[in-house]
Chain A
Amino acid sequence: MTTAGQTRALVLSRIRAGLRVAGRDRTREAAVEERLRAHPRGTIPARAHAGREALLELMTTMLAAQGAEVTRASTPEDAVRAIATDLREHALPSRLRMGADTQLAALPWDMTPEVERVFGPANGEDRASLSRALVAAAETGTLVLVSGADNPTTLAFLPETHFILIRAGDVVGSYEEALDRLRAIYGEGALPRTVNLISGPSRTADIEQTIVRGAHGPKRLHVVILG
């Protein structure tokens, strides 16, 4: 029986033998340290460099193309109304699962008293949920959600209908700009347990290349852009 330390040493020594390098080589170490420290950006698609309104337009177009529904809400009242209307029009129970996110809590929910809000992670019974995206990258209509009590990860995968609220000011152009937001919150070289990049409702094309929505995750994704 080999120990974990021995198997680790074996793999690393095989790699070094293949590369014909020594274990401790300052030049190589410095190259690696520098890249990890500087994390240089590669080419960013030109489409990600655009003005505010153009980015929101791109965000909306990309999400729609990927099968999501998008509402532009100019006021918090409009945002709440859009969610309540969606639940009603799709004959869903007026029950919304959500986390402890303070920005979501601050929405004017008293406008729609029929919508019952339940808090905590999702279970198999929940039909609809609401999360807030921390940031979004317009280049592919991608929303960035982070795990935690504010927006539990299960909200994004168990219910059949998922609402994501994103503030217009949190829509950036590229993935790299979104990463900078994460670094500003979690620090260099650190991430929360789960970062979900979500770009549409769940889908599969495994059978005969036919696209079907709602494979295991939400059948519908409704994104509300506020502001």
Chain B
Amino acid sequence: MTEASPQEFKKNASRALEDAKLQRALTNVKRGFIVKRSLARSKLPEFGALREEARAIKDHTLNHLDLYLEAYEWKVVESGGHVHYAPSAADARDIVLKICKEAGARLVTKGKSMVSEEIGLNAHLESAGIEVAETDLGEHIIQIRGEAPSHIIAPVIHLNKEEIAEDFVRTHRGLAPDRPLDTVPDLVAEARAVLREKFLAADVGITGANLLIAETGSSVIVTNEGNGDLTETLPRVHIVVASIEKMVPTLEDACTVLRLLARSGTGQEITTYTTFATGPARAGDPDGPRAYHVVLLDNGRSEMLGGDFQDMLRCIRCGACLNHCPVYGAIGGHAYGSLYPGPMGAVLTPALYGIDHSRDLPNASSFCGRCEEVCPMAIPLPSMMRKWRERDFERGDPPLMQLLALRLWAYAAKRPRLYHALGGTIAPLLARLAGGRGRFSALPFAGAWTDTRDLPAPQGKTFHELYREMRRSESK
């Protein structure tokens, strides 16, 4: 397993750009998600109105989060379930392990859950001798490869089917090594058979939650495969691991968010399955779990409330910002070295783990603004990334050259006459140096730029000079 770290972002990114297999796999992001989202969006004229409403729902909920958590907890208990508060990732791991041990669990099945990745749940349960089976197809592949997901809704978007076929041959025991695994349906059929046995044998099922509903004490999951439903229906115990900001007040509020979620993520009108779970099986129910637990994870979220990054807590993890990000599209998710990649990760990772650990992530953006444009929760991602850059700068150790250059520029920019004089001298000089080509392929002190692309040269006149000329010719 290659453990990438946000501190090695630049190195990871260069490697990703040269990885031919990764580059081939990443073309699927554009071919799939972007086109499908745009189509789904165009079929729902109310999308813009829903987006504004969803944003208001989440803002209201976050501003009353303590009270909604209390209301939610009351409803879970009323329906026969249990609520556990986990201030940290370690607390959450311990709570889940304790429930599993008390249930005498040997095999745990899991639905896809980013929060369970965030708390490092699998390793913790495995070290206690419990077998953990990821059941979402993508997560199953990630698990047998010993990797982290590279996308929050499409964990293996960085892989091609040939690589997955090799993993299946290596890890699915007791099958003919020369069996045909050439097509995607072959791979899906094999995973279905392998995982079906796990579903039927599991003692505990663990899922995440896309939403928690205070009105009814329900947890909601959205899936297409049906693995989440088998996970939360067949075992004796169902554990939900969810972070506190997943809350919405009512079932109606859930509807508004659900109308945006799938359309923004996969471009579906709705996912195949949307499931509301409320407490354990009731008297007379012939199936469903006998016990229902919810582990509510804080792990840094409460500190984001009331501050510069509260808006990030509106995020519903649809993945649209990753799909539309030119940086993500060029390097994929692993290069970020953070569980949460792309624009949402560039804001969330420093908030959860500290900016000193992840300073390159908010800088990995051209501020093109597509992420904010496609965000169904209207999260101002670029301006929050800018805030992280400021915080990082204020922390005090920006690179010396960067600091010097900024100081020089600031000195000149505050003195218009000097600025114009310098501009008027440097622009024609650079234009002459560039010759007829109009660009530089090498420049002293600018290697970081010119090593990988050309720098356009000034065309001979400054903007101010051109502007003055234009005004003059207009007034004639």
Chain A residues at the B interface, C-beta cutoff of 8 Å: 4, 7-8, 10-12, 14-21, 23, 28-29, 31-32, 35-36, 39-46, 62, 66, 99, 120-121, 124, 140-142, 147-149, 152-154, 156-158, 174-176, 179, 189-210, 212, 214-218
Contacts and interface: CB of A to CB of B under 8 A. Distances in A.
Contact of B137 (A36, A142, A157, A206): A206
Given A18-B306, A194-B276, A195-B275, A35 B233 contact: no
A103 to B, nearest CB: 18
A140 B274 CA distance: 12
B184 A208 contact: yes
A165 to B, nearest CB: 19
B285 A193 contact: yes
A31 B298 contact: no
Interface in B61-113: 63-71, 75, 79, 84-87, 91
Contacts of A176: 252, 255
Contact of B64 (A32, A62, A199, A210): A32
A46 B224 contact: no
A205 B223 CA distance: 11
Given A35-B60, A179-B255, A149 B266 contact: no
A149 B285 contact: yes
A121 B279 CA distance: 19
A147 B45 contact: no
A201 B196 CA distance: 17
Residues of A contacting B: mostly? loop
B286 A120 contact: yes
Contacts of B63: 19
B227 A215 contact: yes
B156 interface: yes
Given A35-B249, A121-B286, A46 B46 contact: yes
Contacts of A35: 60, 249-250
Contact of B278 (A12, A99, A193): A193
Interface in B164-212: 164, 184-185, 187-189, 191-192, 195-196, 199-200
Interface of B: 25, 28, 31-33, 44-46, 49-50, 53-54, 57, 60, 63-71, 75, 79, 84-87, 91, 135-138, 141, 154-157, 159-161, 164, 184-185, 187-189, 191-192, 195-196, 199-200, 214-216, 218, 224-227, 229-230, 232-234, 244, 249-253, 255-256, 258-259, 266, 268-282, 284-288, 296, 298, 302-307
Given A42-B255, A206-B141, A36 B249 contact: yes
B345 to A, nearest CB: 20
A130 to B, nearest CB: 15
Contacts of A15: 65-66, 69, 244, 302, 305
B226 A199 contact: no
B296 A11 contact: yes
B276 A12 contact: no
21 contacts: A7-B87, A19-B306, A21-B66, A39-B252, A42-B255, A46-B45, A121-B286, A153-B287, A179-B255, A193-B277, A193-B279, A193-B280, A193-B288, A194-B277, A195-B278, A197-B274, A204-B137, A204-B224, A206-B136, A206-B137, A216-B225
Contacts of B258: 175
B266 A206 contact: no
B214 A36 contact: yes
Contacts of B69: 11-12, 15
Contacts of B215: 36, 39, 189
Given A28-B64, A40-B250, A120-B286, 9 more contacts: A7-B85, A12-B66, A15-B305, A36-B215, A147-B282, A154-B287, A193-B285, A207-B187, A217-B226
B298 A14 contact: yes
B439 to A, nearest CB: 37
A79 B188 CA distance: 32
A42 B135 contact: no
B141 to A, nearest CB: 7
B224 A11 contact: no
> Which residue, of B154, B155, B164, B216, has the highest number of chain A Cβ atoms within 10 A?
B216
A40 B252 contact: yes
Contact of A199 (B25, B65, B272): B272
Contacts of A215: 137, 188, 191-192, 224-227
Contacts of B285: 147-149, 152, 193
Contact of A45 (B44, B64, B268): B44
Contacts of A66: 268-269, 272
- The 4 tightest CB contacts between A and B, nearest first, are A217-B226, A18-B305, A209-B32, A215-B225
A208 B60 CA distance: 38
Contacts of B84: 4, 7
B266 to A, nearest CB: 7
A16 B154 CA distance: 35
A99 to B, nearest CB: 7
A4 B284 CA distance: 31
A165 B274 CA distance: 19
B248 to A, nearest CB: 10
Contacts of A140: 269-270
Contacts of A36: 71, 214-215, 249-250
Contacts of B278: 190-195
A67 to B, nearest CB: 8
A203 B305 CA distance: 38
A209 B25 CA distance: 10
Contacts of B86: 7, 11
Contacts of B224: 202-205, 215
